[in-house]
Amino acid sequence: MPEAFSAVDVIRTKRDGAPLSPQQIDWVIDAYTRGVVAEEQMSALAMAVFWRGLSADELARWTAAMIASGERLDLSAVTRPTVDKHSTGGVGDKITLPLAPLVAACGAAVPQLSGRGLGHTGGTLDKLESIPGWRASVTNAQFIAQLNAVGAVVCAAGDGLAPADKKLYALRDVTATVESIPLIASSIMSKKIAEGSSALVLDVKVGSGAFMKSVEDARTLAQTMVGLGTAHGVRTIALLTDMSTPLGLTAGNALEVAESVEVLAGGGPADVVELTLALAREMLGAAGISVDPADALRDGRAMDAWRAMIAAQGGDPSAPLPVARERQVINAPSSGVLTRLDALAVGVAAWRLGAGRARKEDPVSAGAGVVLHAKPGDPVRAGEPLLELHADDPALFAAAEAALADAWDIGDVGSDAASSAAVTLVLDRLS
């Protein structure tokens, strides 16, 4: 049977700035998934979209076609209201770990399909896989059963979910089309809508350690994704949050798990607690649940849900976490107030220490990473620890130190820079 369209004609249409018809979009996504549209042809179309963009109607159809390329999970058997969360990624962003069990402890079901880290941003699955025995893969039946019994699942997406996105995601990475807002939005939202949750809260990061460097670009991405979710019947809310400084005091897999457990135990860094509660309140509100999640942190319910969630996927929540074999301390060069600590530099350092990967197939070191001894606004003293590097191989320290060469500023106590150093975490809300 002949194909309905020619890939060259579809590419030319978008290259010349004309809108793609719904039928062209449906065909090109399906034909690419089937292997009829070649990689070089989809590369050309992705670049045309990068330069010409997609209208709201085109983007909605593009996203729908990506969802239709695979299965859509049926969560009708889940007895709790369902609500998901997605972060666009950052440094030290371990928020899913305390957030999913916290929201589950308050009565919602959190079906969280997560990914692995690439480059300077950490992956939730990499963090959880540092827990002895924990497994990322679950069957659909196990997924539903765990949502009903525990209220939260954090796992890898199956191959049947938006397969067009898996192909296109890998292609964008090698064709310099990653930064296209329509392609980012459709990639994220096709997977999230296919998950079948009734509501979704987006954490759109802004700053040096984030995909979106400016508030304007982050707001555009957030508005685009909220519009897509709403158009597909998913109640969608977005928070713009700061990623100029790492979240919490750790960047690295097992290090971030340990910090997340501190939060669930009622402690942990103030910024991690603040963002966890802000997102939990949004998720519970979107699910129609009127509960203060802070109570579940205080009374131990969130910790109970964490232990149940980890155990359900084969993990031992009581087992010791992996620890890197080697450590190296970087001391503060002068006394004063830390006025800047660059998230990107810390993320690259953690990556170079073994906590991240350059390619999807690369292994990661569970114990590697960076520990922060101060955050912007904190006093520091010359010769005292500022950062601590963790790695299994001491030969990796030099590259990590090079990444951190211009990562911080120290100002005088009482200076304007010192008084304005503290970070405002939540920058905006869109719905």
Give residue-wise pLDDT tens across range 82-108: 999 999 989 999 999 999 999 999 999
User: What CATH superfamily classification does 326-419 receive?
Assistant: Pyrimidine nucleoside phosphorylase-like, C-terminal domain (3.90.1170.30)
- Which neighbouring-strand residues pair with 109? 82
The domain 7-53 is placed in CATH, from the list 3.40.50.10860, 1.10.287.610, 3.40.50.2300, 1.20.970.10, at 1.20.970.10
The answer to whether 211 and 346 are in contact (CB under 8 A) is no
- What's the pLDDT at 118? 63
Provide the CB-side half-sphere exposure for 387 (13 A, CA): 27
Q: In this predicted model, what pLDDT tens digit does every residue of 28-87 receive, in sequence order?
A: 999 999 999 999 999 999 999 999 999 999 999 999 999 999 998 999 999 999 999 999
CA dist 308 and 329 (Å) reads: 36
- What's the pLDDT at 119? 64
Residue ranges per domain, the chain? 7-53, 83-319, 326-419
Among the listed residues 70, 48, 72, the one whose alpha carbon sits nearest the alpha carbon of residue 183 = 48
Token pair belonging to 200: 């979704």
CA dist 229 and 12 (Å) reads: 29
Buried b (16+ CB within 10 A) or exposed e, 302-327: bbbbbbbbbebbebebeeeebebebe
**C-alpha gyration radius of the chain:** 22
The yes/no answer on whether domain 83-319 falls in CATH 3.40.1030.10 is: yes
Catalytic residues: 86, 165, 172, 187, 191
**CA 9, 23, 33, 189 torsion-angle sign:** positive
pTM score, whole prediction: 0.93
Q: In this predicted model, what pLDDT tens digit does every residue of 284-312 receive, in sequence order?
A: 999 999 999 999 999 999 999 999 999 99
Phi, psi of 137 (to 5 degrees): -95, 130
Type and span of the H or E element at 170? helix 163-173
- Which neighbouring-strand residues pair with 331? 385
